[in-house]
Amino acid sequence: MSSSRILFGFHAVTARLRTRPQSVHVLYMTGARHDARARDVVTRAQSAGVAVHTVDEARLLQLTGHGRHQGIAALVDEALPYVTVDDVFATIDEPALFVVLDGVTDPHNLGACLRSADAFGAHALIVPKDRAVGVNATVAKAASGAADTVPAIAVTNLARTLRDLKAWGVWIVGAEAGGESLFDADLTGPIAWVLGAEGAGLRRLTRESCDRIVGIPLQGTVESLNVSVATGICLYATRRARALASR
């Protein structure tokens, strides 16, 4: 039997109803919501055969643990079935594109990274099981539905996983200041972008596992970017380079 959890926020709940309606068991909606957005999600749920319960603010607070639920929550199966790196390779027919996060602990950052991974077609996001945040309800809300479209693979040993990716022919590219310019890097082959935790950057063992270090050229006074912003830039640059190479 699959485990379940509470999902909250309009983007996250709507995305789940759109992509995996069979995994939604119950929809909870505050009676204060009567706008078109609320009516649309209720209609979508009812069309999928999902029970819709009207509840008060106190009940939603009890379900979600805080007031950032936007008046909506749902009881759902866990985001995506557990997959491995090998499973991902069995489903792709283009050069691999992975995001590897080395110890990101902020759930909003992880959610934003998932959102960028979805937007730019990354095949999976890899995180270590220890000293990092997992995909929880806060992450799912920040991801605006991407937690249901991008496999998030939690691994016990990140360095070993990077070696496994190399065995698949993937170049391990660390994103860190001081390396080769992103403007000059060859991004057309199979790539796993590795980005470090907020403030700490890449850990030594992770950095030593990288084939190349590539930096994002910065023009202003700031010395670094938020990890989710850097993820989006690196993935966009990769997709652009591949599009240009295919012309």
Would you give the DSSP letter of residue 147?
Answer: G
Q: Look up the CATH number of domain 4-77.
A: 3.30.1330.30
Q: Where are the domains of the chain?
A: 4-77, 85-245
Q: Examine domains 4-77 and 85-245 and report if their fold is the same.
A: no
Structure confidence by residue, pLDDT tens digits, 199-236: 778 989 999 999 999 999 998 888 888 999 999 999 99
pLDDT at 1: 40
Tokens of 129: 């099981």
pTM (2 d.p.): 0.73
Average pLDDT of the chain to the nearest whole number: 87
pLDDT at 124 over 80: yes
User: At 87, is the pLDDT very low, low, confident or very high (cuts 50, 70, 90)?
Assistant: confident
Q: Class of 85-245 per CATH?
A: alpha beta
pLDDT at 34: 76
Cα–Cα dist 207/102, whole Å: 10
Question: Which candidate, 120, 80, 96, places its Cα nearest to that of 231?
Answer: 120
Amino acid, res. 16: R
pLDDT at 161 over 70: yes
pLDDT at 81: 59
Structure confidence by residue, pLDDT tens digits, 13-36: 887 888 778 889 999 998 777 788
pLDDT at 21: 87
Alpha helices, DSSP H, located in the chain: 10-19, 36-47, 57-64, 85-89, 107-119, 137-142, 158-167, 204-208, 227-245
